[in-house]
Amino acid sequence: MRVALAVLAAALLASGAAGQLPAGTTLPATTYPADVDALHALRASLTNLPRDWSATEDPCGTPACGPMLSTRCAWTGLACNASRVVAVWLPCLRDWCFSVGGTLAPGLAGASELELVEFQGNQIGGTLPPEWGALERLVVLSAGYNLLTGTLPPSYSNLSALEHVRLSGNQLRGGLPPDWGSLGQLRELLVGDNELDGGFPANWAGMASMQVLVFESNRLSGPLPAAWVRMYQLQVLDVRDMCGVCGAVPFNQVVRLGMSGSSLGWPCGSGNCSGLPLGFLGQAVIISAILLVLVTLCLWRRIWLFRRHGSDGQRSGLGLVR
């Protein structure tokens, strides 16, 4: 969430500088028409929106406004600059939560200056609109812990400015789109706790800026591609609770690994999920069982030797008495 706020602030400052007009020029006081249409499409598809999301009111209300500026937009959760909508920010936080429902509108793609879309922790269902692949300025896409279904749209490979994708805790299915390997600016991808399946695309090695990859608790399987060695910036990789993830770790740099419940570091085979070892947990079970057997054998040997020596001593003692 802090990253989203930082990106929101940067979007306002950057687009403010880019949107400056010559002295004496007056900016329009109304929202750009295409953005109005896009927001009304979103308004029609969502429920439990803030009360000020009115069908008749101008969404921005002023050329420059936002949650982090002294001037707030007419519609809660928007950020605008030069009368263009640059952010839609409606997460469900402790002190800021509307429990937004409904679905995500394909028509939001008409707001072509959007840099941040934040819906974390709501009750939004439906699918991720493929049309959003046209949002070429989008930096943050955050809709984790909702009720989203469907697949990861291949069209999002066109989001050349995208840096943060947070979609964990949904019901997304299907595979990891190979085309996403072109997202060279992507630094954070969180898709844990979904129902994704299949393997890991080799051409994701093209994600040269990637720092955090979280896949845990999906149905992904197979080895990490050797080509991923080119993810030189990667710092965190989480493949927990996916027994089918196996094979060698391909990175040369130090990477913080979440691998419990996986078979990462073990050869790939048909027994990765049907038997042990299963990652760290499997190793721990095997080692504990071996140690228990060894300790038991040692104890039995000591008892046997004690009894044997005791019996010999008794016989020897009886012989001396005679």
Spatial distance between the Cα atoms of 206 and 179, rounded to a whole number of angstroms: 10
Same-domain pairing of 78 and 149: yes
Note whether residue 295 is domain-resident: yes
Of 36, 35, 31, the closest CA to residue 83 belongs to 31
Do 133 and 257 fall within a single domain? Answer: yes
Residues 65 and 157 grouped into a single domain: yes
252: tokens are 């040369």
Same structural domain, 64 and 33: yes
Evaluate whether residue 18 is within a structural domain: no
% helix / strand / coil in the chain, to the nearest 5?
30, 20, 50
Nearest-angstrom CA–CA distance, 164 and 140 = 5
Q: Residue 270 has what DSSP assignment?
A: T
**Which of 187, 199, 179 has its CA nearest to residue 268?**
199
- Are residues 209 and 169 located together in one domain of the fold? yes
222 within domain boundaries: yes
Which residue's structure tokens are 């984790």? 144
Residue 254 lies in a domain: yes
Q: Does residue 181 sit in the same domain as residue 278?
A: no
Residue 177: is it exposed, middle or buried by C-beta count within 10 angstroms (0-12/13-18/19+)?
middle
Residue 243 sits in the same domain as residue 149 = yes
Residue range(s) defining the domain that contains residue 290: 274-304
Q: Per residue of the chain (322 residues), what is the pLDDT tens digit?
A: 455 555 555 554 444 433 443 444 344 448 999 999 999 999 999 999 999 999 888 999 999 999 888 899 999 999 999 999 999 999 999 888 989 999 999 999 999 999 999 999 999 999 999 999 999 999 999 999 999 999 999 999 999 999 999 999 999 999 999 999 999 999 999 999 999 999 999 999 999 999 999 999 999 999 999 999 999 999 999 999 999 999 999 999 999 999 999 999 999 988 888 754 444 555 566 677 788 877 777 887 777 676 766 655 544 444 433 3
What is the 3 state secondary structure string of 135-158? CCCCCEEECCCCCCECCCCHHHHH
In a domain, 290, yes or no: yes
Which single residue is written with the structure tokens 């306002």? 12
pLDDT number for residue 74: 95
Are residues 183 and 287 both part of a single domain? no
310 within a domain of the structure (yes/no): no
How many other CB atoms are there within 10 angstroms of residue 175's CB atom? Answer: 15
pTM above 0.85, yes or no: no
Of 215, 163, 166, nearest to 194 by C-alpha is 215
pLDDT for 26 equals 43
pLDDT score of 320: 36
163 and 219 belong to one structural domain: yes
Instruction: Give the C-alpha separation, 291 to 309, whole Å.
Output: 27
Give residue for tokens 């740099």.
Answer: 253
pLDDT reported for residue 284:
63
Residues 112 and 243 in one domain: yes
Residue 1 tokens read as 């969430």
Nearest to 107 by CA among 124, 79, 130, 87: 130
* 234: CATH: 3.80.10.10
Q: Are residues 209 and 158 in the same domain?
A: yes
Sign of CA dihedral 234, 120, 37, 29: negative
Residues 286 and 266 in one domain: no
Q: What is the rounded CA–CA span in Å between residue 240 and residue 125?
A: 26
Residue 180 in domain: yes
Domain count for the chain? 2
- 63 Cβ contact partners less than 8 Å away, ≥ 6 residues apart: 27, 28, 29, 80, 81, 82, 83
Q: What torsion, rounded to 10 degrees, do the Cα atoms 213, 86, 3, 258 define? A: -10
